Structure 1
Amino acid sequence: MNLRALRALARGMLDDTIEPYRTATKTLDGHINAALNEVAVRAPGLFEDSITPAICHLSVTAGQAVYALDRRVRQITAARLDGRDISLAPGGAVRHERNFLVFDSAPRRDGELRLTVTRYPLEPLEMDIDEPEIPLELHQPILHWACALVLRTPDVEIEDLARAAVHEGQFAAVFGDRPTASQIASQNRRRPLTVRYGGL
């Protein structure tokens, strides 16, 4: 389902199908993109990536310990350095800090790092023909979050907190609850991610 179809469906859910619309098209499109970002947080497996070069491929330089990650990366789930499995864990040789990958000890030689990550969408939906990356059967459920955002707009003609809560519940029923910061940290600690690359 493309952005034009998603927008039309959302307007139907909001009873906002007659021009002039209560919610501007640009605003509604922004909320649809926000919904996809929310999916990336709640159901990260839907945005797992190991093939996009700009995100998953890093050139390692001898003597350099810190490497910037693409801003769309949320978590690193697996990694290989020169074909050898590596991982990140507390006390390991490599750690993921915010938007950086940090070696405790700078590599002694150049190499190629291949990552498997969970991330945010590669590109926002902007053109009418743009489609979400997630499976087709999940396109309609994302609109519950977009509708909830619209219905929380502090405008006497739009705001409806009760309806917003219903849409939020329907979104959570499909994609789960939003994890807390402590839950995310706990997941990172449990994930067997410490570099087992001999010869750093």
Structure 2
Amino acid sequence: MNLSELIEAFRIESGDSVNKPYFWSDSYLTFLANEAESEACRRAWLLRDSTSSFCEVDVAADEPLITLDPAIITVLRARLSTVIGALSSITSTQMDDCEPLWETHAGRPTSYVPDYQTGALRLYPIPNVDDVLFMTVSRLPVRKMEDDEDVPEIRPEYHYALIHWMLYRAYMKQDADTFAPGKAAVSIAEFEKEFGKRSSARNETWQRERHTLGGNPIA
């Protein structure tokens, strides 16, 4: 489905397709459609990427911190161009337990620490030569839908379910003509059937920093 079709389907489902002016403008529904796709990706990690420009980062000698693009939800895999095999993921607590002075060690990196600094990875040990880091990541959409023919980045079979989020947000709008908490509850329940329940910010951060220790996102 493209953006125009998402908006048309929303209007049919909500009954807002007959009389103009509509209760919800096209510009507002465009905002909700983009929000719905991002929300789906946060919940279900639908976009896996190894080829976008932010998946390849230059590594400078003596600089262990790698800044991550804001679109990255979590790093699923990382490897250096000069190292055979993927780097292992290890938490800062585990590093403290096994190598008390680990932050001072230098050499060819074998691991990365995902919970050392928000929005960054810390390589271990500190790289002693320039290198390139290649990552496979779960990410948010990076192309906003703006024109009628624009389509979501997620797979086509998930497109229609985005409408449930749009309905939920539209029905929760504080307006005498649109506020319908009962309908909103039904809509968010349908969205959650497809994409899962939202994690708290605390749990989402935990998943981002420790997913390699526990596997898949937690519903």
Question: Partner of 2:16 in structure 1?
Answer: 16
1:190 Cα deviation (Å)?
Answer: 4.9
Gaps (5+ residues) in structure 1?
A: 194-200
Distance 2:172 2:12 in 1: 17
Q: Is 1:125 equivalent to 2:145 in the alignment?
A: yes
Distance 1:176 1:153 in 2: 23
Question: Partner of 2:172 in structure 1?
Answer: 152
Q: Is 1:40 equivalent to 2:41 in the alignment?
A: yes
> 86, 92, 95: which one pairs with 2:113?
95
Distance 2:113 2:139 in 1: 17
Counterpart residue type for residue 54 of structure 2: I
Counterpart residue type for residue 59 of structure 1: D
1:140 Cα deviation (Å)?
Answer: 0.5
Moved more, 98-107 or 183-192: 183-192
Query: Are 2:143 and 2:153, in contact at CA under 8 Å, matched by a contact in 1?
Result: no
Distance 1:102 1:90 in 2: 10
Distance 1:48 1:179 in 2: 19
Question: Partner of 2:108 in structure 1?
Answer: none
**What secondary structure does 1:167 align onto?**
helix
1:122 Cα deviation (Å)?
Answer: 1.5
1:12 Cα deviation (Å)?
Answer: 1.1
Number of residue pairs matched? 191
Distance 1:158 1:50 in 2: 42
TM-score (norm 2): 0.81
1:55 Cα deviation (Å)?
Answer: 2.1
**What secondary structure does 1:78 align onto?**
strand
> 163, 172, 189: which one pairs with 2:210?
189
Counterpart residue type for residue 120 of structure 1: L
Query: Are 1:33 and 1:125, in contact at CA under 8 Å, matched by a contact in 2?
Result: yes
Question: Partner of 1:197 in structure 2?
Answer: none
Question: Partner of 1:84 in structure 2?
Answer: 85
Distance 1:87 1:166 in 2: 42
Indicate the percent of aligned positions where both proteins have the same amino acid: 29
Query: Are 2:60 and 2:130, in contact at CA under 8 Å, matched by a contact in 1?
Result: yes
Distance 2:211 2:171 in 1: 38
Query: Are 1:87 and 1:192, in contact at CA under 8 Å, matched by a contact in 2?
Result: no
1:103 Cα deviation (Å)?
Answer: 2.8
Distance 2:154 2:70 in 1: 20
Question: Partner of 2:103 in structure 1?
Answer: none
Q: What's the C-alpha RMSD, in Å, of the aligned pairs?
A: 1.8
Alignment deviations for residues 37-80 of structure 1 (CA, whole Å, 9 cap, x no partner): 11011110x1111111x221111111222222111001011111
Distance 1:68 1:185 in 2: 16
Distance 1:186 1:30 in 2: 28
Question: Partner of 1:174 in structure 2?
Answer: 194
Distance 1:36 1:13 in 2: 18
| Structure with the greater alpha carbon radius of gyration | 2
TM-score (norm 1): 0.88
